[in-house]
Each structure stands twice: as C-alpha cells, then as structure tokens.
Amino acid sequence: MNQSKRIAIVAALEDEIAQILSNMTITESKLLAGRKFWLAVHHDREVVVVLSGIGKVAAAITTVCLIENFEVSQIVYTGVAGAVSEALNVGDIVVGTRFIQHDMDASPLFPRFVVPGYPTHYFEAEPQLAMNLKEASEKALMGLANVVRFDGLFKLRSAQVHSGTVLSGDQFISSSSVRDRLRREHPGALAVEMEGAAVAQVCKDYGTQFGMVRTVSDSAEEQAEKDFSLFLSSVASQYSALIIKEYLKLC
Ligand code: SAH
C-alpha cells in the first residue's frame, strides 16, 4: 500500500462519480456536514471520494471538510462542463490550469473578477497534477472508444484533450448571448462550470494541491439543458472513471 496521504476525488453530481465508486474497494464511509465521504483503495492508493453538491459555496464547504478531516495531499475535481471556446466540442476533455470566478465583481473597489484579498483574478492548478491529468485523459480517450458507444448523438470518437482556463460561477449557462459575453470577457477561456474556482481558492489558502478534469457535456447555449442531461445520464460517469483510473496509475 502506498503510504503517502490520501487523494481526494470530488464531483458535484452522482452521475459524475457513480462509476468511480463502483470500481473501488470502499473501506469506510463518514458523514460530515451532510456529505458522505467514502474512504477507499484504488490502484494501490488511498482515496476519499465525495459529492460536493452544486455551486461555489457547496464546493468550498466540501473542500474545507476534506482538508480538515481526511489528511488529503491533493484534491482532484471531476465532472462535466459547458464549452465556452469555439474550439471545444461535446465529448472533449478539459484539464483546468487556471480558474476564474466569472461572477465575482467588487468593482470599483477591486478589479472585476479579482476575489478581494488575492493578487490575481485567477487561481492555478498545481502544474504537475495538471500535466498528469492531461496524460491520463489522453490515455482514457484511447480506451473510451471501446466502452462508450454514443457516436450517433455525440462525436466522441474524435474527442480531444484541451488544457487551459476554466470559468466558475453560480449560474448554469444556457444562453448563447451569455456564453458570448463570457468569451469576450475572458478571451481564451475553455469552459464554464459551477465549482472549480471555489475549490481552487480554498486549496490556495490551505496550500493543498489542486487539479481539475471535466468532460464537455454541452455548449452553454440554448440546447445546453438537453445535451447536459443526456450526456450526464449516458456517458459522464464512464468518462470520469476512466480518467481517474489512469490518473491514479500515474501519481
Ligand atoms: N438540474 C441539474 C443541475 C446541474 S447544474 C441536476 O441537478 O442534475 C450543472 C452542473 O454541471 C454543475 O455542477 C456545473 O459545474 C456543470 N455544468 C455543466 N454544464 C454547465 C454549464 N453550461 N454552465 C454551468 N455549469 C455547467
């Protein structure tokens, strides 16, 4: 057994993590702040798996619980996200390197998107962790064709891995005009979701390593709700499980 501290695997929704859990040998579960934390062994690593719930505050509470109670050395967030960049398609994988709270606005007291008290408007992933997640995602994509057969609806066979900036806010983005505004305000941003930058902020304060990998479930426009629901119920769980399995082999 690898004796280093635990790796935390976190997602917002049950469908994003169901398969990961069923692949693991769960040794114990603990209830804290209304959340169930599953302690498990996976690929010879000690892990703790938890559902954070949706949104920045739920994600931040979960992150504090993990760090204060479970001796975690790193936190890996996984799940789905909406595409912001035109370069991304449903089924692509996004590894976050920078995280911005796109709904933070304390202007004119502070520049827009800067969380008061922090030097920049973004939080960063731990670089090695992000690199390992990228490598794991590339390996997972190779295995995915054998597991997920959904080409009729999503062109998963041509899926790609991207790494870069991810936007987080307490809004499900399902409007092309809002998505276009996000594109203008954050040139180069890849995807939008509702938790990552909050987890990144807590990890920065505690000095805990953080990384995030998400699959694109929708294009954050009018079709988003339909695409999101279908993707979530049909493929999200298998995607996350494959990526996390490859990741745990690497670290
Ligand atoms: N009714 C849904 C709500 C999910 S909210 C349910 O409970 O099943 C969407 C979740 O997926 C969030 O956790 C968010 O991080 C991510 N997400 C996927 N697509 C998104 C988008 N277009 N905008 C914002 N978040 C998105």
Residue in the block written with tokens 């939080």: 123
The structure's pTM equals 0.94
Residue 3: pLDDT band by 50, 70, 90 thresholds? very low
Q: Is the separation of the CB atoms in 93 and 213 below 8 Å?
A: yes
The Å distance, Cα 172 to ligand 1 centre, comes to 6
The Å distance, Cα 59 to ligand 1 centre, comes to 13
Mean pLDDT of 212-221: 95
Tokens of 241: 């499980």
Is the minimum distance from the CB of 83 to ligand 1 under 6 angstroms?
A: no
Residue 85: pLDDT band by 50, 70, 90 thresholds? very high
* d(C-alpha 146, C-alpha 106), whole Å: 48
Residue 147: pLDDT band by 50, 70, 90 thresholds? low
Smallest CA separation from ligand 1 atom 26, residue: 193
CATH number of the structural domain 6-250: 3.40.50.1580
The Å distance, Cα 109 to ligand 1 centre, comes to 30
Question: Considering the chain, what is the average pLDDT of its residues?
Answer: 92
Of 15, 92, 193, 218, the catalytic one is: 218
Q: Is the separation of the CB atoms in 77 and 145 below 8 Å?
A: no
Q: Is 16 a catalytic residue?
A: yes
Domain positions in the chain: 6-250
